[in-house]
Amino acid sequence: MSQLKFYQYASWSLLFLNIAVLAFFFLTKPKPPHHQSPGDFQSEVIEILHLNSRQVSTFRELAYEHNEKMKSINGRQQRLLPPHFERLSSPLESIDEDIILNEFQPLEREKI
């Protein structure tokens, strides 16, 4: 067998081996877990934790309060961002970045 034939067979063998490996990974890929509905985390949490009716009502109240507080904080942060980005785009403006960051950081801490 000449060297040329050997390398041709070796190349074809490696090509088929690569195709087989790719096919194996694509065909055996696990399916994503089925959720009740996207974004319906409350029902999923209630089911996982096996909450009773009293706990469910308390959980939903706390989740609502948390959601409202996060919306409020995000709204306050969104009012602080435009001046910050304006200062970054035009450094000649007299907007003090430290003031903006000093207002922004406590809001992030409050979120955490």
- 27-85 pLDDT, tens digit per residue, is 998 887 766 566 678 888 888 899 999 999 999 999 999 999 999 999 988 888 887 77
State pTM to two decimals.
0.54
Residue 89: pLDDT band (50, 70, 90) is confident
Residue 3: pLDDT band (50, 70, 90) is very high
CA 109 → CA 19, 68, 77, 102, 106, distances in Å? 51, 16, 12, 11, 5
Question: What integer pLDDT is reported at residue 23 of this predicted model?
Answer: 95
Q: Report the SS3 class of residue 64.
A: helix
Retrieve residue 63's tokens.
């989740």
Question: What integer pLDDT is reported at residue 35 of this predicted model?
Answer: 60
- Angle formed by the axes of helices 53-89 and 41-49, nearest 10°: 140
Cα Rg of the chain (Å, integer): 29
Question: What integer pLDDT is reported at residue 40 of this predicted model?
Answer: 74
